[in-house]
Amino acid sequence: MTSMNQYKLSEKVRNFISSPRKMLINGQWVNSVSGKNFNTHDPATGDVIVAVAEGDKEDINRAVAAARKAFDDGPWSSMTPTERERCMYRLADLMEQNADTLSELEALDNGKNVAIARAVDIQVAIDYIRYMAGWPSKIMGSTLPLSVPYAPGAKFLGYTLKEPVGVVGQIIPWNFPALMCAWKLGPALASGCTVVLKPAEETPLTALYIGELICEAGFPEGVVNIVPGYGHTAGAALTAHKDVDKIAFTGSTEVGKIIVKAAADTMKNVSMELGGKSPAIILPDADLSVAIPGAASAIFFNQGQVCCAGSRLFVPDSLYDQVVKGLAEVANGMKIGSGLNPENMVNPLVSQIQFDRVMGYIESGRAEGADIVAGGGRRGDKGYFVEPTILGNTNRDMKVVREEIFGPVVCVQRYKDVSEIPKLANDTIYGLGASIWTRDISNVVKIVPKIRSGSVWVNCHNVLDVAMPFGGYKQSGFGKDMGKEALDSYLETKSVCIMS
């Protein structure tokens, strides 16, 4: 282990990163079959945090076999719903007892602000496991009023059973590592599925820590298996595996397409939460004291590494100068630095690759004629810090407006008339989120149905709640995370017909 960062880490975190981390298969912490490890890095310094077992095809095979056994003949599927609930509540309680440790580990591995990790990432992860823990005893089929016209005189009883889809492969990204883990595990476990989870190679640590809590919570062996590794090896092996019934993925639209194609060979059930280029739309009557800081946090929260970030900002001509000036003041006033200091509101991007990608987009914006109203540069000479950046006077043909940047970079576009809004908002291949900022309820009623996206926020942005389904339209994917709807994609419906 290298000594990284100037910040003193807690004893629990220091212990956790003091030796290479193993993977969780069938209730055991094991090395990879190949014996290989990979390193995870501190984005604030670029230093190695710790080595992690590198899963590949053979490890995935073992993990899937364990999950298969736990599903087909193991105790998980034969447990009563209330027993499964108790396991999940115990996990939520343990996550709560370890919330500070999880937050610190998340800040270290991802780079994000530790206080925000505690208040948002980890808190929502805990709340969501608890929300889902309440479901097992409440998942119900229905009784069906059958007619069967071609069997005159016969009596039938028809009903549906809701059953778990089986073994689920879950592939998650690095922007909200622990939260994504909870989003995926929650509905899978509540519905009675067993899981092989592959965390992102950039940020495996909190998933592995949650793995320890899963063991402590008393889940039977094989119910949750956690295999860190790369996408093109471990991820691809999981996607192609014939004994996996479903793949749940959050990540880039590009990889989502690869996974959907690979899953087609074995006709897996798939759910996809993909990229976005979400509009934030300030209407002429908006309260700018709310809309300006709101639009800033819509893009700068989590360094813009948010699938529903408000990355296209639409401002009426009449308010353009005022809004852009206000936004620049917010951007220029944000403290930049390591996420381990909670005062730093702009933290590093997750990796060198993401840093290069985002800097490349800023250059492209400059080359295509956008105004650099704020930011535009790197901060410091180590770590992956990008200044909060505002690109002004952008237009629909620019690459920065068309493609997901996934960094703290907002593209501001002018518009003339409110009637243009739906067309402007929908001028993208994506459809994940959108916000409108207005004081006029009739604007809300008119515009909301015309926006082709899975979430629409009014006078807020990026608000996610355990009770509220979240997911995409168009190339942002299909299937929902969170809310009751999240369960749907983990359940099969069996029709039963009894003739008497």
Binding interface with ligand NAI (CB under 6 A):
171-173, 175, 198, 200-201, 230-232, 235-236, 239, 250-252, 255, 258-259, 273-275, 307, 357, 404, 406
Task: Tokens for 108, please give them.
Answer: 């270290």
- Which CB atom, from 231 or from 365, has the smaller least distance to ligand NAI? 231
- Which CB atom, from 272 or from 291, has the smaller least distance to ligand NAI? 272
Chain-centre distance for alpha carbon 472: 12
- Which CB atom, from 302 or from 338, has the smaller least distance to ligand NAI? 302
- Which CB atom, from 409 or from 436, has the smaller least distance to ligand NAI? 409
Q: How many CA atoms lie within 13 A of 33 on its CB side?
A: 12
307 belongs to the catalytic site: yes
**Per the residue annotation, which of 273, 387, 404, 411 is the catalytic one?**
273
Find all residues with CB under 8 Å of 92, minimum gap 6, and list them: 126, 129, 130, 133
Length in residues, the chain: 500
Q: Is 3 exposed, middle or buried (0-12, 13-18, 19+ CB in 10 A)?
A: exposed
Residue 168, classed as helix, strand or coil, is strand
371-374: strand order across its sheet: 371-374, 389-392, 409-415, 310-316, 278-282, 435-437, 457-458
Residue 211, classed as helix, strand or coil, is helix
What distance in Å separates the CA atoms of residue 100 and residue 113, rounded to the nearest whole number?
A: 12
Q: How many CA atoms lie within 13 A of 450 on its CB side?
A: 16
Of all helices (H) and strands (E), which one includes residue 129?
Answer: helix 123-133
What distance in Å separates the CA atoms of residue 406 and residue 252, rounded to the nearest whole number?
A: 10
Find all residues with CB under 8 Å of 77, minimum gap 6, and list them: 70, 71, 164, 192
Cα first-last separation, the chain: 70
Least Å distance, CB 353 to ligand NAI, is: 7
What distance in Å separates the CA atoms of residue 222 and residue 402, rounded to the nearest whole number?
A: 43
The CB-nearest residue to ligand NAI is: 231
What distance in Å separates the CA atoms of residue 145 and residue 344, rounded to the nearest whole number?
A: 61
What distance in Å separates the CA atoms of residue 248 and residue 489, rounded to the nearest whole number?
A: 9
Q: Is 153 exposed, middle or buried (0-12, 13-18, 19+ CB in 10 A)?
A: exposed
**Per the residue annotation, which of 307, 387, 404, 411 is the catalytic one?**
307
What distance in Å separates the CA atoms of residue 208 and residue 40, rounded to the nearest whole number?
A: 13
What distance in Å separates the CA atoms of residue 126 and residue 132, rounded to the nearest whole number?
A: 10
- Which CB atom, from 292 or from 307, has the smaller least distance to ligand NAI? 307
- Which CB atom, from 309 or from 315, has the smaller least distance to ligand NAI? 309
Task: Please tell me what DSSP assigns to residue 397.
Answer: T
273 belongs to the catalytic site: yes
Least Å distance, CB 125 to ligand NAI, is: 15
What distance in Å separates the CA atoms of residue 459 and residue 295, rounded to the nearest whole number?
A: 9
- Which CB atom, from 45 or from 250, has the smaller least distance to ligand NAI? 250
Task: Tokens for 475, please give them.
Answer: 């190339």
- Which CB atom, from 137 or from 364, has the smaller least distance to ligand NAI? 364
What distance in Å separates the CA atoms of residue 108 and residue 444, rounded to the nearest whole number?
A: 40
- Which CB atom, from 232 or from 450, has the smaller least distance to ligand NAI? 232
Least Å distance, CB 249 to ligand NAI, is: 7
Catalytic residues: 273, 307
